[in-house]
Amino acid sequence: MDRASPRSGIRRRLRLATALGALLVLLGTYGISTTAQADTAQADTSRADAAPGVNAIRVAEFPADCSYSHRLPDDPIIFPGLPGASHMHSFFGATVTDAFTTLPDLINSPTTCNPQVDVSSYWVPTLYRNNVAVEPIISTFYYLGEGVRSDVVARTEPIPQGLRIVAGNARATGPNDSIARWSCLHAGQVPPSKDFVNCPAGTMLESYLDFPQCWNGRDLDSPDHKSHMAYPVNQACPATHPVPVPKLRQVLRYPVSGDPAQFRLASGPGYTMHGDFFNAWPVAEMARRVNDCIRPVIKCGHDGRPL
């Protein structure tokens, strides 16, 4: 992976980033989009490097599989510095996350992710079956170039390091104010729902959640933890949130089935499903995947190489 990875320009940028800190990295990324010449040259090079072979799968995607790490009633985005203030969360990826976690903590953290370069933290309300916690046995975080027009996909920017994104509505009072999606793995005949579904024996309850993919280009977080990000409008990023980044799709498969009455989330009914993401991907690894997988619309594996 080392040899094949980032182009030398990226390495220089990484050194620069390390020297000047995460904010400069973020704004360096922003700077690229404002220096059109450099941007074009970069894009051209990467296209040549990653010219899709005849067998390339034309889906803009790279994944991280991050198994369950730990549970805590903490939330470093919503309740920073306040351990115990939250409902129970199940954490994936970085193994150190607690109420006090900041970007440097994640960068130095061990991780449950494949690829191991992903030291990001992902968390969701814990699922309980008859009041016993159940954790997903498959937890995949897909980074996708979809939901926007192809010309927007082609100019997707890397997710800046330190960006925090929340998706879903922990306070939903019913299915109408929820974007949760529950379904059954290997039982497509069961219609998906915003609340728990009754999965046939031998299948698994699964949750899909899509994160907003349009960034305001400025803030790594916002006071309400939402307004620095937006969902696309008419297949494009709105003027208020002009920077398209890969769409994070969280897919969790729980080893449970049957009567939905036995299930609850720490946050309430199934429609309160939500996800939190604290990005700590190394800048160069994220940039390479955006260049090689998302922009040219190529399906990549965990190593960020075309499948």
Partner 1 sequence: MRPSLAVPSVLLCLALLGAGCAAAGPPPPTRPDLAGETPAAAATTGAFSPTDVAWLQLTVAMSERLLPVLELVPARTTDPAWRALAGRVEESQQADLIRSRGLLAESGAPATNPHEGHDMPGMITEAELTALRAARGPAFDRLVARHLRAHLSQAVRIARAEQGSGAHPATTALAATVVRDGSAELARLDRLDPPTRAR
Residue 57 sits in the site that holds partner 1 (CB under 8 A): no
Residue 23 sits in the site that holds partner 1 (CB under 8 A): yes
Residue 109 sits in the site that holds partner 1 (CB under 8 A): no
Kindly determine how many residues on this chain lie close enough to bind partner 1 according to the rule CB under 8 A: 56
**Beta bridge mates, 243:** 215
Q: What contacts 151, CB < 8 A, 6 or more positions away?
A: none
8 Å CB contact between 167 and 179: yes
DSSP assignment of 34-96: H-HHHHHHHHHHHHHHT---TT-----EEEEEE-EEEEES--TTTSTT-TT-SPPEEEEEBS-
Write the single-letter amino acid at 154: A
Residue 42 sits in the site that holds partner 1 (CB under 8 A): yes
Spatial CA neighbour of 99 closest among 90, 86, 109: 86
8 Å CB contact between 63 and 307: no
Whole-number Å distance between alpha carbons of 47 and 35: 18
Judge residue 211's burial from the number of C-beta atoms within 10 Å of its C-beta, 0-12 exposed, 13-18 middle, 19 or more buried. buried
Alpha helices in 108-240 (DSSP H): 150-153
For residues 109 and 267, which CB has a smaller minimum distance to partner 1 in the complex?
A: 267
For residues 228 and 253, which CB has a smaller minimum distance to partner 1 in the complex?
A: 228
Among 50, 64, 103, 229, indicate the residue that binds partner 1 (CB under 8 A): 103
Whole-number Å distance between alpha carbons of 200 and 185: 10
Helix (H, G, I), strand (E, B) or coil at 30: helix
Residue 261 DSSP one-character state: G
Among 164, 181, 249, 253, indicate the residue that binds partner 1 (CB under 8 A): 164
Residue 218 sits in the site that holds partner 1 (CB under 8 A): yes
**Backbone angle region of 77, left / alpha / beta, with phi > 0 → left and psi within -120 to 50 → alpha:** alpha
Residue 171 sits in the site that holds partner 1 (CB under 8 A): yes
Among 136, 145, 162, 260, indicate the residue that binds partner 1 (CB under 8 A): 162
Residue 70 CB, shortest distance to partner 1, in Å, is 18
Residue 73 sits in the site that holds partner 1 (CB under 8 A): yes
Residue 138 sits in the site that holds partner 1 (CB under 8 A): no
Residue 77 sits in the site that holds partner 1 (CB under 8 A): yes
Question: Candidates 76-84, 89-97, 187-195, 200-208 — which segment interacts with partner 1 by CB under 8 A?
Answer: 76-84
Residue 230 sits in the site that holds partner 1 (CB under 8 A): no
Question: Candidates 13-21, 63-71, 151-159, 295-303 — which segment interacts with partner 1 by CB under 8 A?
Answer: 13-21
Q: For residue 16, what is the enclosing H or E element?
A: helix 8-20
Residue 283 CB, shortest distance to partner 1, in Å, is 12
Whole-number Å distance between alpha carbons of 282 and 278: 12
Residue 257 CB, shortest distance to partner 1, in Å, is 26
Residue 43 sits in the site that holds partner 1 (CB under 8 A): no
Question: Candidates 79-87, 201-209, 241-249, 291-299 — which segment interacts with partner 1 by CB under 8 A?
Answer: 79-87
Write the single-letter amino acid at 22: A
Q: Which residues form the interface with partner 1 (CB under 8 A)? A: 9-10, 12-13, 16, 19-24, 26-28, 30-32, 34-35, 37-38, 41-42, 73, 76-87, 99-100, 102-104, 162, 164, 170-171, 173, 218-225, 267-268
